[in-house]
Amino acid sequence: MSGLGWNTVLWLAGLFALMALTALIGVYWERKVIGHFQARRGPLHHGWHGLLQLPADMVKMISKEDVVPTKADRMLFQVAPMFVAVPAFTSLAAMTFMPGVAFVDMRHGLFFVFAMQTVMPVGFALIGWSCDNKYTLLGGLRAAAQLISYEIPMLLAAMGVVMSVGSMRLTDIAQAQASGPWFIVRQPIGFVIFSLAVLAEINRTPFDMPEAESELVAGYHTEYSGMKFGLVQLAEYTALLMGSYLIATLFLGGWNMPLLPASPVWLFLKTVLLMTSTMWFRATFPRLRVDTLMEMSWKILIPVALANIMLVASLMLVLPKRWF
């Protein structure tokens, strides 16, 4: 174990713990939040306020039979969830919590995250195709199309921030908001586009066409049972965490708070708040239609995002450095 010190091992263990905890607490929190939005209580009787509900679900899912449909492409069926899960988990490695406190403080952290997320559509399409089921096929293709369309406005909107900061390191981006106003104030258009695109990127309502219950049973993961379904769900919640984290870091100041000392607590609170608001959307909104969704990306978000880059560039020339 020459290059692999204890520090790395600890960080890796932390990464895995974060993943598992996000999914467990995320699902629990979502069931609670949506329950309360629906005037219900959510999980309540297993453990204190249902806290043991998710461990029970995990135990059950791990011990469920692993069904492989007869006509499915056996190898792809087994492997495809990895194409979704691995990029989602790997992108977590780029998270930074404070200057110096990070898994890996990459110089191109933002680039790394985007690169990882670009792999996910492949996974969705593979899952959809490998099951030999029309519902999964439609769901998988919808997911792939949606992810590819929304990556572009997401990247373009983030580009405004990157131009302004002059770095792709997530630490730099957050630190740039320490003294000046947050990027939500400096680039509101970019914020709106980025949030919408992230919402679509993580398949959340009102963009959850890929798993539309009313027409596609459960979308691309219809055929997955037991822990494979658990893995896909884990990946979804990890993506949700990553999306919320990105919005918090890029536009909401990261660990900075005006008038108060910088702390990872702020980052954590902002992320949880953003995650909760996606749950709020999920409890309230119906879903859009597929073609409306595509139109929104290609006809509205991308042109506006491009215009936003122009605007940022020209303001950078005109305004003092402190502002841009």
Partner 1 sequence: MGVVDTAETPGFITTTLDKLLRWGRSRSMWPCQAGLACCSLEMMTAGSARYDFDRFGIMFRSSPRQSDVLIVPGPITRKMEPVYTRVYNQMAEPRWVIAMGSCAISGGAFADSYNVLRGADTIFPVDVYVPGCPPRPEALFYGCLRLQEKIASTSFIGSDREAIYVPPDLPPEWPEAITDPPKTCLEPEGEDDDS
Partner 2 sequence: MVTFNRADACAGTETVLLNIGPQHPSTHGVTHILVELSGETVVAAKPILGYLHRGIEKLAEYRTWQQDLVYTDRLDYVSQIGNEWAYCRAVERLTAIEVPERAEWIRTLFCELNRITSHIMWYAGVTMDIGTMGTPFIYAFKARERIYDFFEAVTGARMMYNYFRFGGVRCDVAPGLLEDIHDYLGGEFLELMDDLDALLLGNEIVQSRMKGIGAFTTAQLVEWGITGPFLRASGLAQDLRKDAPYGAYDKVEFAVPTSTVSDSFARCEVRMAEMREAASICRQVIERMPEGDISVKVPRLLKPEAGEVYVRTESPRGELGIYLVSDGGPKPYRFRVRSPIFYNISALPKMLPGWKLQDALVIFGGIDTSMGEIDR
Distances (CA, A) of 97 to 94, 192, 265, 305: 10, 24, 9, 28
Burial of residue 315 (CB within 10 Å: 0-12, 13-18, 19+) is middle
192 binds partner 2, rule: CB under 8 A: no
Q: How many amino acids of this chain bind partner 1 (CB under 8 A)?
A: 35
Residue 51 binding target from partner 1, partner 2, none, CB below 5 to 8 Å by type:
none
CA dist 27 and 232 (Å) reads 13
DSSP 201-265: HTT-TTS-GGG-HHHHTTGGGTT--HHHHHHHHHHHHHHHHHHHHHHHHHHS-TT-BTTB---HH
- CB neighbour list of residue 113: distance below 8 Å, 6 or more residues apart: 91, 94, 242, 246
Question: 264: closest CA among 240, 278, 245, 279?
Answer: 245
Build a one-symbol-per-residue string for 22-61: x at contacts with partner 1 by CB under 8 A, - elsewhere: ---------x---x--xxxxxxxxx---x-xx-xxxxxx-
Residue 288 binding target from partner 2, partner 1, none, CB below 5 to 8 Å by type:
partner 2
- CB neighbour list of residue 45: distance below 8 Å, 6 or more residues apart: none
Residue from 45, 71, 289, 321 that binds partner 2 (CB under 8 A)?
289
Tokens representing residue 161 in the block: 């921030």
For the packed helices 74-91 and 109-130, what is the interaxial angle rounded to 10 degrees? Answer: 160
Cβ distance to partner 2 smaller for residue 34 or 304: 34
Residue from 180, 277, 282, 304 that binds partner 2 (CB under 8 A)?
282
CB of 219 to partner 1, least distance (A): 9
Residue from 223, 248, 287, 302 that binds partner 1 (CB under 8 A)?
223
CA of residue 309 relative to chain centroid, distance: 23
Pick the stretch among 87-95, 165-173, 223-231, 302-310 that binds partner 1 (CB under 8 A): 223-231
CA dist 151 and 246 (Å) reads 14
User: Within positions 207 to 226, which residues make up the interface with partner 2, using CB under 8 A?
Assistant: 208-209, 212-215, 217-218
For the packed helices 134-165 and 188-201, what is the interaxial angle rounded to 10 degrees? Answer: 150
44 binds partner 2, rule: CB under 8 A: no
Pick the stretch among 71-79, 206-214, 223-231, 302-310 that binds partner 2 (CB under 8 A): 206-214
- CB neighbour list of residue 298: distance below 8 Å, 6 or more residues apart: 149
Tokens representing residue 149 in the block: 């369309």
Residue from 39, 75, 317, 318 that binds partner 2 (CB under 8 A)?
39
Build a one-symbol-per-residue string for 71-110: x at contacts with partner 1 by CB under 8 A, - elsewhere: ----------------------------------------
Residue 226 binding target from partner 1, partner 2, none, CB below 5 to 8 Å by type:
partner 1
Build a one-symbol-per-residue string for 93-112: x at contacts with partner 2 by CB under 8 A, - elsewhere: --------------------
225 binds partner 1, rule: CB under 8 A: yes
Distances (CA, A) of 171 to 12, 106, 265, 272: 20, 9, 15, 19
Contact in structure between 84 and 120 (CB atoms under 8 Å) = yes
Distances (CA, A) of 29 to 15, 41, 278: 20, 12, 12
Residue 41 binding target from partner 1, partner 2, none, CB below 5 to 8 Å by type:
partner 1
Build a one-symbol-per-residue string for 295-314: x at contacts with partner 2 by CB under 8 A, - elsewhere: --------------------
User: By the criterion CB under 8 A, which residues form the site for partner 1?
Assistant: 31, 35, 38-46, 50, 52-53, 55-60, 63-67, 213, 217-218, 221-226, 229
User: By the criterion CB under 8 A, which residues form the site for partner 2?
Assistant: 34, 37-40, 134-135, 138, 205-206, 208-209, 212-215, 217-218, 282-292
